Each structure stands twice: as C-alpha cells, then as structure tokens.
Amino acid sequence: MAPVATPFFFYFLSGLALVSGILVITRKNPVHSALALILTLLALAGIYLMLYAPFVAGVQIILYAGGIMVLFLFVIMLVDVGRAEKERQFNKQWLVAIAATLGLGILFVKVFTASKTLAELLKRPLAQLPETSNTQQVGFSLYGQYMLAFEIASLLLLVAIVGAVVMAKKRI
Amino acid sequence: MLDYITSYLKSDATPGAAGNMLWAFIYIMLIFLGLSIAVIAMNWLERKILAHMQVRLGPMRVGPHGLLQPIADAIKLLIKEDIMPAEADKAVFWMAPLIVVTAAFTTFIVVPFGPQHAVTDMNIGILFMLGVSSLGVLGIVMAGWASNSHYPLIGALRSSAQMVSYEVAMGLAVVSAVLMTSLHGAGIYATGGSNGMGTLSMIEIVKAQQEQQTWFAFKFFPLGLMAMFVFAVAMVAETNRAPFDLPEAESELTAGFHTEYSGFRWSLFFLAEYSAMIAVSSILVTLWLGGWLRPFPNLLNGPTWDLVFSLFPGLMFLALAGLTFYSTARMPKMRYFRVQTLGLAGFGALLGLIGLILFIPPVRDRIQDIYWFVAKVAVFMYLYIWYRGTFPRYRFDQLMKVGWKVLLPMGLGVLIVTAIVGVL
C-alpha cells in the first residue's frame, strides 16, 4: 500500500494547523475563534494519521472536535458576544508574552539541535510500525504497562466531575 | 486499460485495499447516486406512509400516486429565492449546511455493503463513523448561531445538548458490540470461532459475526439485544428525529435551527438529515444485524438455500414491477391520465428489467450482499417513519432523563456484563 506520509500532506496539514491556530488568537468574535480551533484540531488529527496512529486520530476527532468543541460553542453562544467584541483584544501582557516566546524558542532550538544527533540514531532500520493492530497496541499499553497511571488519570477526572457538580449546585 | 477496469470485478478486496483509484471513484459516485435516490424515495415514502397511518391519501397530484412529487419539490427548492438574513454572520451561515452535508456523506466511505463493496476498510472504521457523524452537530450549532435569531439559537442549544448526551450512551453500546468480536463465551453462550483479537473495522466486525455463526443482536442473549436497543433509541435522538426532534420542534420553535434557511441551503439540511439517518442505521445493521449476511444461515443452509436466497433481489424487483402493472391497470381510463398511465407502465417495465438483470448468475452473486444490507437498513428507515407517526414528542427534561438515567446506566451495565460473560 502506498504511504500517505508524503511531504505534501505534512506541509499542507501543518500549514493548515498554523494558519487556523493564528486565526484562533486574532479573531475578535469568540465563535470564529472556536471554529478556527476546530480546524486546527482536525489538521492535527490528519498529522496523527500520517504518523500511523489511526486510533489517536479517531479519538482526536470524536473527543476534541465532536465533543469538547461542541461544549465550547454551547457555552460561547450563551455569552453576550456583542460586549466581548467591544473589549480590547490585548491586555498589555507584552512582558509575559516575550518571556514565554523566548522560553519556547530556546526549547525549540534545543530540540532541533538535539534532533541532529537523533537523526543519526534513527538511521538504524525502524521496527515495523503496527499500523493494522494500532488500536490493540494502545490497549495493551494502557491496560498493561501504564495501568496505574491510566487509573490515576481516570480517578482524577472523576474527582473533577464531582467537584464541578458540587460547585455548580448549591443543594444536591 | 480494459484489463485495469475489469481486473477489479474479480477481486475480493475493497477498492481502497486494492489501491484501485478508478473503482474507488466509481464506488463513491455510486454511493452518492444511491444516497440521493434513497433520500428522494424516503421523502415520498415518509409522506405517503405517514398519510396512510393518519388515514389520509398524501401527495396524489404530481404523477401517479404522487410519485413525481419529490422531484417537483426539488425543482421548487432549487429555483426558490435564497434568503440570507441581513444581521446573519455571512461566512458561518454559508458554511454550516456544507459542514452538515459533508459530515453526513463522508461516513459512507467505510459502510460495508458487502465484503468487497465498501469504498475502503479502515482499521478504525466504527470509530471513524462515530467521529465524523459527531461533526455534523457542529454544522447545526453554527447554523443556529449564525442565523442571529432566537428560535434557531434555542434549537441549536437543544441540539448540541441532546447530541452530546446521547453520544455517550451510543458509544457504550458500540463498545459492547466491539467486545463481542473477540469474546466467544462458554456454556450456553458458546459461539463458533476461536478467541482472537477484537477489531474496530466495519468489514471485520461482520466477518466476526459470520465466523461465530451468530448476529451480535442474539449473542449472549439478552445482552446483544439490550445493547442494540440502547443504540436504536440513541440513534433516533442523534439524528434529531421524532420523538426526539426537539431541535426543530415546529410547534414551539417554528423550524428550529434551520428556521432562517431557505431554498437550496435548506434542502442541504434535509439531505444531510436523511443521509445521517441512513448512516446510523447502517452502523446498527453492521454491528448487530450481521451487515450483508443473509438471514437464517444456520437453519436454512446448504447450496439449495443459498441459491434460493440469492434469487430474492430479482424476485423483489419483479414483485414491485407486478405491483406497478396492477396499479397501471387500475389507472382511470381517461384521456387526461394517458401520459401518467404510460409513464407508470414504463416505470414498471424498468423495474422488471432490473429484476431480470439481477437473475444473471455473476450479477446475482455480486449483488446479493448489497441487497441484504440495504433491506435491513430499509427496515430501520421504515421504523423512523413509524416512530414519527406513533410517539408524541418528549419534553426536554424527559429527553435528558431518558438519556442520562435510563440509556447510560443500561449501556454501562450491558458493557460490564458482556465483559464478564465473555471471559467466564
């Protein structure tokens, strides 16, 4: 089967993710921002698919694009959009922004220089990627090797749900 | 070139697996055409069946028995003025119907009409279908918000709350069916086949049912049936159909989220709603009712019965042709009706011709999978109409109660018990 991981698709998807990511922070209307964010998430799902991780791509679409973003839109639509649009977009956080950008930039440069040596490491032939049994491999990892971490994460989510209900309701 | 085209006809793989672009394109076009025809037919059938349930005649004017009514409606919608509210958010208003339609049609890439009759087979097939069909709600929410009007906004809010709630129950029911692909049970629950890995691929799920010699609806009785019930209720809510059609409750919200849409854009919503109905019905048929497998493979087995069942598609078309000819004979014998009578006779002749073509052995072998799949889906499409004619609309709090307090616990319970029964 022909590989889909061609450079064209990579540049197309990452370009889409970047452009829509920029749209998320530049649109004044929060609904437009949310829609751009959905596009970013879909582009990322495409990149996961290119990395031979179809299960992660499917879950990304179901949970983020189909579930969480719908709830985002649900909440945004209840907010008075007209007032939010009149407010100033930027809150004079230049100092924080520059610091964050510098930190992230240094991290990127470090990763890039480290990957030079990593590239030599990767010249060895890779193990055959388990594309067809991808979902099963994810299952084995989650319920085998990383069982404890997985259960702790699910417990954390349960606590978060209970906490949200307690905070939202005066009388239960 | 000719070899390239005909080589696929003998292949046992889907066009996607065979890497055959031409046939993949042909399949996509065929599915698109079939879906459009199915939506047109559903439009006519729904109005006729509902009318007969309410002791009315339904559309009778355009063509014999109103057969051409949906075409007349389509032409009317296409040449109608397209109105966009002045205060609407233009871009979002324009995009919303496109997203709904794209989401509804894209799911059909993985629908298995037969072991080789699917555009492609993904190893995350069922996940893909659920994911893409859940994107449809985004279009509905966008439509409701962009219209900048009260009724659509309330409709969109209801729709998003409803779909997110019922997706949970739907997902749990699907997981219990996916579990059944790898579990074989013991004792009275023992099924054929050997313990293996589960699968999410639509074609593999049907093949697992074939190997285990049971449809998942009847496996681990009554667990399979209960999971199917949860899914069957959740899918009605998921497609915003009666009795869960609160997003477009016409008595309170005019037309819900598509109140401000008209003409072609409105017809896109209509198209998307019906193709989404077909899509979720085909998920149900694939997971629990054996997809393309013919009924009674255990009881009535052997080559003779295989032959008898493979004659069904042709016989059905011949029966339809006979019905059409009977109606032709009963048409009023007046000059005014002559064109209609001739048209109906021609339609009957066309149906009869299709029936005869379906008797040719190579066509017969190739087509019977598709026939059984479509027949099973058609049952659920009829059920949709029946629900609409039978059940009164739920109130919103009742809808939420059914989703969260009945279907969700039931789905969870079925999932846990299925897992326990499976590993015993």
Q: Angle at the Cα of A34 (from A59 to B256), degrees rounded to 5? A: 95
Angle at which helices B69-78 and B21-53 cross, to 10°: 110
- Shortest distance between the Cα of B133 and any Cα of chain A, in A, equals 8
Residue A58 and residue B80: Cα distance in Å, rounded?
39
Of the residues B92, B122, B127, the best mutation for testing chain A's interface (the one with the most A CB atoms within 10 Å of its CB) is B127
Q: How many CA atoms lie within 13 A of B31 on its CB side?
A: 25
Q: Is the pTM of this model over 0.90?
A: no
Task: Tell me the chain B residues in contact with residue A1 when contact means C-beta distances shorter than 8 Å.
Answer: 17, 19
Question: Which of residues 40 through 69 in chain A touch B, CB cutoff 8 A?
Answer: 54-55, 57-59, 61-62, 65-67, 69
pLDDT at A125 over 60: no
Q: Which residues contact B48 (CB under 8 A, 6 or more apart)?
A: B58, B59, B65, B66
Residue contacts between A and B (CB atoms, under 8 Å): 85
The token pair that represents A93 in the structure block: 């956080």
The token pair that represents B155 in the structure block: 């409709």
Domain spans, chain A: 1-87, 130-172
Instruction: Establish whether the linkage from the previous residue to B332 is cis, with ω within 30° of 0.
Output: no
- Measuring CA to CA, which residue among B47, B98, B95, B103 is closest to residue B73? B47
Q: For residue A132, give the chain B residue with the closest CA.
A: B123
Residue A85 and residue B5: Cα distance in Å, rounded?
57
Q: How many CA atoms lie within 13 A of A41 on its CB side?
A: 22
- Measuring CA to CA, which residue among B102, B109, B101, B100 is closest to residue B128? B109
Residue B278 confidence (pLDDT): 92
Task: Tell me the chain B residues in contact with residue A56 when contact means C-beta distances shorter than 8 Å.
Answer: none
Residue B264 and residue A21: Cα distance in Å, rounded?
32
A74–B160: do the CB atoms touch at under 8 Å? yes
Residue A155 confidence (pLDDT): 94
CB of B124 within 8 Å of a chain A CB? The answer is: yes
- Measuring CA to CA, which residue among A157, A67, A12 is closest to residue B135? A67
Give B219: exposed, middle or buried? Use CB within 10 Å, 0-12, 13-18, 19+: buried
Give A136: exposed, middle or buried? Use CB within 10 Å, 0-12, 13-18, 19+: middle
Q: What are phi and psi of B245, to 5 degrees?
A: -90, 40
The token pair that represents A29 in the structure block: 């209307």
- Shortest distance between the Cα of B330 and any Cα of chain A, in A, equals 52
Task: Tell me the chain A residues in contact with residue B163 when contact means C-beta distances shorter than 8 Å.
Answer: 70
Beta-carbon neighbour count of residue B205 at 10 Å?
Answer: 24
In our burial notation (b when 16+ CB lie closer than 10 A, e otherwise), range A63-100 reads ebbbbebbebbbebbeeebeeeeeeeeeeeeeeeeeee
pLDDT at A120 over 70: no
Give B226: exposed, middle or buried? Use CB within 10 Å, 0-12, 13-18, 19+: buried
- Measuring CA to CA, which residue among B325, B164, B157, B330 is closest to residue B248? B157
Residue A16 confidence (pLDDT): 92
How far is CA B53 from each of CA B134, B250, B251, B392, rounded to the nearest angstrom?
Answer: 32, 20, 21, 14
Give B225: exposed, middle or buried? Use CB within 10 Å, 0-12, 13-18, 19+: middle
Return per-residue pLDDT of chain B as tens, 424 residues: 677 777 767 777 777 777 777 888 888 898 989 998 999 889 899 999 999 999 998 888 887 888 888 888 888 888 888 888 887 788 888 888 999 999 989 989 888 888 888 888 888 888 888 888 888 888 888 888 888 888 888 888 888 888 888 888 998 999 988 888 887 776 667 766 666 677 888 888 888 888 888 888 888 888 889 999 999 999 998 888 878 887 777 777 777 778 888 878 888 888 888 999 999 999 999 999 888 888 887 777 778 888 888 888 888 899 999 998 898 888 888 888 888 888 888 889 999 998 888 888 878 878 888 888 999 999 999 999 999 889 888 888 888 888 889 999 999 999 999 888 877 7
Residue A149 and residue B225: Cα distance in Å, rounded?
35
Quick one: pLDDT band at residue A1, thresholds 50, 70, 90?
A: very low
B127–A136: do the CB atoms touch at under 8 Å? no
Q: Which residues contact A48 (CB under 8 A, 6 or more apart)?
A: A54, A56, A57, A60
Task: Tell me the chain B residues in contact with residue A133 when contact means C-beta distances shorter than 8 Å.
Answer: 123, 197
Closest residue to A62, CB basis, from B130, B144, B197? B130
Closest residue to B145, CB basis, from A31, A38, A67? A31
CB of B156 within 8 Å of a chain A CB? The answer is: yes
pLDDT tens by residue, A26-64: 887 788 888 899 999 999 988 888 877 888 888 888 888
Domain spans, chain B: 76-293+360-423
Q: Do residues B384 and B241 touch, judged by C-beta distance below 8 A?
A: yes
- Shortest distance between the Cα of A110 and any Cα of chain B, in A, equals 36
A1-87 architecture in CATH? Up-down Bundle (1.20)
Residue B96 and residue B261: Cα distance in Å, rounded?
11
Task: Tell me the chain B residues in contact with residue A20 when contact means C-beta distances shorter than 8 Å.
Answer: none
